[in-house]
Structure 1
Amino acid sequence: MTAEAEIPVKIHLITKIRLDDEEETYELVVFGHYFKKNNKVYLTYDEVQEEGTVRSVVKVDEDEATILRKGVIDMRLKFCLNEQKSGSHMSEFGSLLLSTNTRGIFFEESAEKCEGTVKLHYDLFMQGAHAGEYDMEINYKEE
C-alpha cells in the first residue's frame, strides 16, 4: 500500500446521541476513499441529502481527529482527548459555534489490509449549550 494511493472503501458510520433521557441512533453506509498522508489516515465520502451533496473528510491519527464537511453544510469539528476544541457549522440558516469535549478516542488499523475502526466519545456544545453526548463509530474496509 503506497502512502499517497487512494483506495476505494466501504464506510459504515454509527452515531449514538444521548441528551437528557433520550437516545437516538443514526447509521450511514457509503462508499468512499482511504488514503494516508503525513502518518494520518483520511477517509473521504459524499453524503447525498435532500438539499444537496455534502463532501465529508475524516482525518485521524492515534490521539486526535478532525471531521470536515463541505457542501450544503459546512462543518468543522476537532477532537483531542480531554480537551475542549472549537468548531463551526454553517448552512443556509446561518452559522453556529460548536465545541467538542472529547472523552475517548480509539483508532485501530489492520497492518495486513485496508480496514480499521475509529471511535469518538464526546460532548457536543452548540453556542455554548450542551447538545448531547455522542458516540461515533466509523468502520472502513477495502471494497
Structure 2
Amino acid sequence: MQVKRAEQVPIQIKVKTMIQNEEETQSFELTTFGQYYQKDQSYYLQYEEVLEEGTIKTIVKVTEGAALILRTGAIQMRLPFKLKQRLRGSYETPYGTLDTTTYTKQLEHSLAQENNEGSVDIIYDLAIHGSIAGIYHINITFKEENE
C-alpha cells in the first residue's frame, strides 16, 4: 500500500524563544525557510537550523489542543504540549538521554488555510531530570513563501 504524502508548501518561518529563569531572561530569534503541510487533523511545520554542532531538523506538529516539537540531527529532542498538563519528553546528549517534563500554561495557534500562514504560541515550564530549567515562551509565525 502506497502512502500519499501531503502537499508541502514552501514557507518563511520565524521562531522567537524567550527563556526566563531565576538569574536572567534570554531571547533568541530565528528566521528561516521550511515546509508546511497538513495530514489528517494536524498541520506540520518543518525547517532546519545550522549550528556549530551541526544541522538540526525540526518538526512542529499542531493539533487541536496539543503540539509536539521534534528535533533530530545535532540535537535530539522530543517536547510534547497539552494545555494545563504535565507531559514527559526527552533530550539526548552525548552523555545520555535526559528526561524532560513540560507543563503547558498557554497553547494557542491560528491557521489561515487560504494563504497558508499562521502562528503557534506556547508558554511552558520546562524541567530536565526533575529540576526546573525555566519558563519558556515560543512564538512561531509562518507564511507562504512568495517567489
* TM-score tier after normalising by the smaller chain length: over 0.9
Write out per-residue CA displacement over residues 96-139 of structure 1, whole angstroms, 9 at most, x where no aligned residue: 11110001100101142100000001000000011100111000
Match of 2:16 in 1: 14
The answer for the alignment partner of 1:71 in structure 2 is: 73
The reply on whether 1:39 has 2:41 as its aligned counterpart is yes
Question: Aligned equivalents of 1:102 and 1:52: distance in 2?
Answer: 29
* SS of residue paired to 1:67: strand
- 1:62·1:106 contact (CA, 8 Å) conserved in 2? no
Name the residue aligned to 2:133. 131
| AA of the residue aligned to 1:133 | I
**What is the Cα-based RMSD across aligned positions, in Å?**
1.2
AA at the equivalent of 2:13? I
What is the identity, as a one-letter code, of the residue corresponding to 1:139? Answer: T
Task: For residue 39 of structure 1, report the CA deviation from its aligned partner.
Answer: 1.6
Distance 2:82 2:14 in 1: 22
* In structure 2, C-alpha distance between the alignment counterparts of 1:83 and 1:57, rounded to whole Å: 21
Q: Which amino acid aligns with 2:134?
A: G
What secondary structure does 1:86 align onto? Answer: strand
Q: After superposition, what is the alpha-carbon deviation per residue over 1:51-102, rounded to whole angstroms, capped at 9, x for unaligned? A: 2111110000220000000111110000000100000011223221111000
- Any conservation in 2 of the 1:72–1:92 contact (CA below 8 Å)? no
For structure 1, the 5+ residue unaligned runs are none
In the other structure, the counterpart of 1:92 is: 94
CA contact (8 A) 1:41 1:61 kept: yes
Unaligned segments of structure 2, at least 5 residues: none
Aligned equivalents of 1:27 and 1:93: distance in 2?
28
Moved over 4 A (4+): none
Query: Could you state the TM-score of these two structures normalised by the residue count of structure 1?
Result: 0.95
How far apart are residue 140 of structure 1 and its match? 0.5
Q: 1:30 aligns with which of 15, 18, 32?
A: 32
3-state SS of paired residue (1:90): strand
Once the 2 structures are TM-superposed, how far is the Cα of residue 21 of structure 1 from its aligned partner?
A: 4.6
Structure 1 vs Structure 2: percent identity of aligned residues?
40
Q: 1:116 aligns with which of 111, 115, 118?
A: 118
